[in-house]
Amino acid sequence: MLARGELHRAAHAVTSRQLHRRHLLCLGVAMRAYIASKEPSAALGVLDECEPALLEPRSMDQTHNRALAAVLVWQARALAALERREAAADALTAALRADCACYEALDLLLEQHALTPAQESELVDSLPINNQMSASEAALLRVAYRERLLRYAPPPDAPDEAPGPVEACRAQCAEAAEALGRRLAAGGRWAEALRALDRAGPACCPDVRAACLVELRRSAELFAFAHALVDAYPTAWTAWYAVGCYYYLVGKSELARRYLGKACGLEAGAGCVWLAYGHSFAADNEHDQAMAAYFKAGQLMPGCYLPPLYVGVECALNNNVSMCERFMARAAALHGAEPADEPGAGGWERLARAVRSAHVAHEAGAAAYAHGQHEAARALWLRALAAAGPPERLAPCWAATLDALGHAARALGRPAEALRWHERALALRPARAGSLAARGLCLALLGREAEAADALHAALARDPDHVVALALLDAIVDRLDAALTEEEIPQFPFPQLELPPAPSPAPAAPPDGSDMSMSMSFD
C-alpha cells in the first residue's frame, strides 16, 4: 500500500487492528504513512498510543533496538515538521544510542546541524559501539563516523604509508567518496570535490554538487544537472534547489527565489535553501531581506557557523561594527574556536587568537580592514591562511586572502611586503586584473614606475574597464612625462639624403624661319 501511494489505507490497516500498540514494525509503517501524507501530528499521536515498555531499548535484543531506532527516526521527522527541533535532536540521539549503526539518524543530525561540532564528537564518543557489534565492525563504524563529522575540516594530504585494512575497506564505499567530496568543497577545492562526488555516483550529494558548480561558474553544466534532477526526482527539494542555484549563477535573482521557494515548500527544514535565498537578496543589495533569510537559516541549523557568518558580513556592509563582531565571534565559536579570554585585547584581536575557521577569519579580516583596523585585519588573514592548509597546497580561492594581506601591508606602510603577497596571489590565480593592478600600485610606491606601468597595462589587457588601473596608469604616465628633461626626450632626426645632381637639359634647335614664314600674296 505504501508503494502504491495508498497512505491512509496503510495507516488504517495497522491502527484498526491495534497492531501499532504491540509491534514496532507496524508502528513504523503507520508513522511513515502519516508523515508521507503531511500529517506529523497524527504520526505522533499513534506513537503516544504505543505501550511504554515497547519504546525502551533492550540490551540483549538488538533486533528490537534496530526497530526502535527506526521508529525514533520517524518521530524525529515528525517533530522537525512541527518546528520542534530540539525534541527532534533528542529523538535522533536516542535512536543512535539504541542502534549505533543507524546511519540515517546521524545523517539527519548532521544535515540539520542540530548539534555543535563539540557536541557531535561527544555523542559519537559516548555511543556503545563495542557492546553492539564485533571489533572489526566497530572499527569500521568509528572510522566512518569520524570522517562524517569532519565535513568542514581541511581534506587530508595523501598518506606516505599504505593505509590499514580498515581504511582500505572504507575507501571502497560510496560514503567515503561522499565524505571526501564534502571536505574538499568546504576547503575550496571545488573541482576535486566534483571528481570525488563522481566516484560516489552522479546523483550523490546534489546540494554540494550544485554549490561546487556555482563556485566554478559552470552554468551550462549546472543547467544540465538541474534538468536531469527535475526529470528524475520532481518531488525532491534538491532538484529545485539546483534550479534556483542555476538562476542565481546567471544573475536572475527573482527566478532563483521562485524556485528556491518551491524547494522550501517541499522541505521546510532545508537550511541551505535559506542560505541561497539570502545570497540572492545580497546580490541585489537588499541587506535587510538577506539578513532575515540568514536568521531563518540559523533557526533551522542552530549548530552551523554559516548563518551567523553571513549575518556578520551583512552587518559589516551596514557599518554596524559591534553587531558584526558579535556574529563573527558566534560563528567562530560554532566552528570550535579556542578560548582566548585576554583582558587587554580588543574584539578583533581576541577573535584572531581564537578562530579556527579559515572562512570566518577571512570575512572578519575584511570587516576589520573596512573599519580601519589594519593590524587586526592582517592578523586575521594570517590566521585564515594557517587554517586553510599548507602554503604549497593552497586552493586558488585563497588568492583573495593573499591580495587582502597585500592591501593590509600597504596600508601599514610596507609596500615591499605587499608586493610579495600580490605576487603569491598571482601565482595561485594568474592574470587577475585586481591582483595586477595592486602589484602595479606597490611597484609605483617603491619607485619602479616603468614596471608599474607594465603591470597596469597587463591589468587593463585583462579588464579594459578596471577603474583603479586606469587612474593609476594615467597618474604614472603623467609622472614619467614630468620627470623627462629636454635631453632625455629621444630625438629622431631625419636622415641626410645625398641626391645626385640633375642632368643639364640639351640645347634646343634654332627655329626654322621657312617654317615660320607666312605667305601673304594678294595676286
Name which of 23, 92, 33, 105 is nearest 64 in CA terms: 23
Q: Tell me the per-residue pLDDT of 238-263, one tens digit each, with 9 for 90 and over.
A: 999 999 999 999 999 999 999 999 99
For residues 428 and 490, the model is more confident at 428
Residue 94 has pLDDT above 50, yes or no: yes
Spell 226-255 as b/e; 16+ CB within 10 A means b.
Answer: beebeeeeeebbbbbbbbbbbbbbeeebeb
pTM: 0.83
Name which of 355, 249, 350, 251 is nearest 308 in CA terms: 355
- Helix 321-334 / helix 306-317 crossing angle, nearest 10 deg: 160
Confirm if 307 and 275 have CB atoms less than 8 A apart. yes
Per-residue pLDDT, 159:
53
Per-residue pLDDT, 520:
40
Contacting residues for 456 by C-beta, under 8 A, at least 6 apart: 436, 437, 440, 469, 472, 473, 476
Of all residues in the chain, the percent with pLDDT exceeding 70 is 88
* Predicted confidence band of residue 148 (pLDDT cuts 50, 70, 90): confident
Residue 161 has pLDDT above 60, yes or no: no
Per-residue pLDDT, 484:
61
Per-residue pLDDT, 521:
43
Residue 276 has pLDDT above 90, yes or no: yes
Q: How far apart are the first and last CA of the chain?
A: 146
- Cell representation of residue 32: 511513515
Q: How many CB atoms lie within 10 A of CB 273?
A: 30
Confirm if 405 and 381 have CB atoms less than 8 A apart. yes
Rg (CA), the chain: 36
**What are the distances in angstroms from CA 137 to CA 51, 108, 129, 140, 178?**
32, 22, 9, 5, 20
Residue 510 has pLDDT above 50, yes or no: yes
Torsion of CA 159, 163, 166, 172, to 10 degrees: 80
Helix %, strand %, coil % for the chain, to 5? 70, 0, 30
Per-residue pLDDT, 201:
82
Of all residues in the chain, the percent with pLDDT exceeding 90 is 41
Report the distance separating Cα 310 and Cα 349, nearest Å: 20
**What are the distances in angstroms from CA 151 to CA 113, 187, 215?**
11, 10, 18
Name which of 86, 105, 84, 3 is nearest 41 in CA terms: 84
- Cell representation of residue 280: 540572492
Contacting residues for 198 by C-beta, under 8 A, at least 6 apart: none
Per-residue pLDDT, 309:
94
- Cell representation of residue 423: 605576487
Report the distance separating Cα 75 and Cα 69, nearest Å: 10
Segment 212-232 mean pLDDT: 94
- Cell representation of residue 301: 541549523
Report the distance separating Cα 173 and Cα 500, nearest Å: 93
Q: Tell me the per-residue pLDDT of 353-388, one tens digit each, with 9 for 90 and over.
A: 888 888 999 999 999 999 889 999 999 999 999 988
Residue 164 has pLDDT above 80, yes or no: no
Per-residue pLDDT, 279:
94
Please state, rounded to an integer, the average pLDDT across all residues of the chain: 85
Report the distance separating Cα 331 and Cα 306, nearest Å: 7
- Cell representation of residue 445: 610606491
Return the amino acid letter for 416. Answer: A
Residue 338 has pLDDT above 70, yes or no: no
